[in-house]
Structure 1
């Protein structure tokens, strides 16, 4: 199941050019079926803590996405997968993705203001790029240039891809209708969300709905 999940996200990233481009990950599958997730070894301390914290959120009617990143021994590690409950037992299916830090390119701290902007409540309101640049006390053209460098995209194109990524999680791991997912992720409606996906040769009806494949 995690292979299907990873391939779905991999296709999304390749089609949109969003996320890690040109990187190859070392993959290691991890499967656990127990109510208290315990994996031996100090390398898994962070993962064990994370799984313990989310274990209470898993019920017979929910699928919890697992996504955790941490740095260790010169590598950036990602654990991605799902947690769900079957016969009163929590099940965790994950892949461990490892990327050597030497392959990462770090950007100057100056661009941190763009990260802060992406997490700001003001993005929930319709603002023009000029208004956003003004809120950041920076010139319009400099703001556009910064976005192009940091996001490898225009601001609004990056924001749309971010909304598409968040919608993808709902499509794959929830039982919400596509119309509900569109409004939940701040699209103007289903047609608007569908149009954006089609722009990147992604068809909403072809995205697997993993939630539906579990007899919860």
Structure 2
């Protein structure tokens, strides 16, 4: 909160006291004024609730729009490498996850269907960016890892993603960024509880999920 707002809040009781003491009209009409103020607060509350409803309805849409626009920025920076969102995202995650990565796990992380991922991996394998081997623990699945060339491309993808993040978040303060992550964590927890009600458990005050 800006310092000016703190001062306004701190001075409000004193200002209200002197207005009541020096304004006879105010003393004569205290009850009427208080009742009017109460009605005004109720109207303001309803307006606040209405505004919150509007913001809640548009929140998911704006979040999805920002996510798509963010990825398009990365697409633009990676155009010289011949990569699209469909191909650079698997490369980026394969570079971040401990190798080798089970193909089914990669599909879950990317939130895409297994057949769609299989087709993407076919493309990346033909380009020499990944290799797939049979999973000995689950013969129905493959293990995926980046090749040396794939690791080089992953570094380029990570640099592009970091550059976009730095550019778009340049005017966001550390506190604002931390608040965003806290909101994301709370929404993620609500989604998890929605999927699995039995997983809901109490957490310590102030703990980050």
Q: TM-score, normalised by structure 2?
A: 0.25
Q: Larger % of helix: which?
A: 2
Higher Rg of the two aligned structures: 2
Give the number of the structure whose residues are more often strand, by fraction: 1
